[in-house]
Amino acid sequence: MSSENYAQLNTDKKMRQSSNRSTLHPIESNIKKKYVQLFLDAGQNNVGPITCKVCHMSYNKGTEDDLVHAKFHKASVGGIDYPGYKSEVMLQVYPEDNGSRVVMFSNNKYSGFEKRKLFEILEIVTRELGSVEIREDKLLSSKIFLYVTSRKKVVGCVIAEHIKQAYRATRNTASSHAEEQPGEFDDASVVFYRTEPIRAVCGISRIWVSRQYRRKGIATKLLDLVRKNYIYGCCLGRLAIAFSQPTGDGKALATNYTGTSEFLVYTEEV
């Protein structure tokens, strides 16, 4: 069975498990799509796609895929080149991290160079999350927060968008997943949530940190700056931040950040 089918079955199973509880609804998470090219096997070696053990990209070695993989691999592990741009607003410098800084893009009047860089970053994040692409107008009306190292690499990114309502996530306690702890969510493909909408203003549409830089508090720093800078002159509380269809990593982060597994979730408009 392909991993895609397995993920779907897994989703179906969890959706069926939810059907007995009238107030709980599942949000499908970002199930990574794997595009598989078919080859005729005439006994040759190295047939079919391989999956990189580091960046998890599936690709056909020895084809033009090599270049795509090399570019994604480098960015996924070590970050994306970032020379600095006029429209960026400097939010914070971290002397304890060799002068790394967080910058924000929020004015919607970007130059062609700036737009190209923002889309390059988005492309890596989208590929990593296996999520749908964001429309240009939506991306450009969102607030984009980047963690940039002194070596001029973007190693963390948050795209925050305006939302009107969210829902409270809840544990699927009826299932065998009741014993899950933060960090053991990786096979989870569904977030259960209560149906009563809650007013919310700030949605985390995407959050990503490059592999080499994970578990160093970068996502936490980015979320702190989102809360302080999303609405001018007002600092949102940790519990006011809503997460769009969180992945396993995302659930662990959101649980730690908000201090509860019942953080806010929302379904993004595409």
Ligand X SMILES: CC(C)(COP(=O)(O)OP(=O)(O)OC[C@H]1O[C@@H](n2cnc3c(N)ncnc32)[C@H](O)[C@@H]1OP(=O)(O)O)[C@@H](O)C(=O)NCCC(=O)NCCS
Q: How far is CA 250 from the centre of its chain?
A: 7
Token pair recorded at residue 227:
């809360």
- Cβ proximity to ligand X: between 59 and 266 the closer is 266
Q: Which residues bind ligand X (CB under 6 A)?
A: 128-129, 182-183, 207-209, 214-220, 243, 246-247, 249-250, 252-253, 256
> Cα-Cα-Cα-Cα dihedral of 123, 129, 131, 133, to 10°?
-10
What is the per-residue binding string for Zn ion in 38-67, x denoting contact by CB under 5 A?
Answer: --------------x-xx------------
Beta carbon of residue 214, minimum distance to ligand X (angstroms, whole number) = 3
Q: Which residues pair with residue 157 across a beta bridge? A: 146, 208
- Cβ proximity to Zn ion: between 155 and 169 the closer is 155
Can you list the pairs that 10-14 forms with residues at least 24 positions away whose Cβ atoms lie under 8 Å?
10/187, 10/189, 11/189, 11/190, 14/172, 14/175, 14/189, 14/190
Separation between Cα atoms, residue 52 and residue 68, nearest integer Å: 12
The binder of 177, among ligand X, Zn ion, none, by C-beta within 5 to 8 A per type, is: none
73 binding Zn ion? (CB under 5 A): yes
Beta carbon of residue 267, minimum distance to ligand X (angstroms, whole number) = 13
Biggest CA–CA distance in the chain, Å, is: 66
The binder of 260, among ligand X, Zn ion, none, by C-beta within 5 to 8 A per type, is: none
| H-type alpha helices, 1-102 | 3-18, 65-78
Beta carbon of residue 50, minimum distance to Zn ion (angstroms, whole number) = 10
What's at 3, amino acid-wise? S
Reference 142, options 124, 128, 161; nearest CA is 161
- Cβ proximity to ligand X: between 14 and 221 the closer is 221
Beta carbon of residue 81, minimum distance to Zn ion (angstroms, whole number) = 18
- Cβ proximity to ligand X: between 150 and 220 the closer is 220
The binder of 58, among ligand X, Zn ion, none, by C-beta within 5 to 8 A per type, is: none
Beta carbon of residue 38, minimum distance to ligand X (angstroms, whole number) = 29
- Cβ proximity to ligand X: between 110 and 250 the closer is 250
The binder of 52, among Zn ion, ligand X, none, by C-beta within 5 to 8 A per type, is: Zn ion
Q: What are phi and psi of 50, to 5 degrees?
A: -120, 160
- Cβ proximity to Zn ion: between 68 and 89 the closer is 68
Separation between Cα atoms, residue 123 and residue 131, nearest integer Å: 10
Binding site for Zn ion (CB under 5 A): 52, 54-55, 73
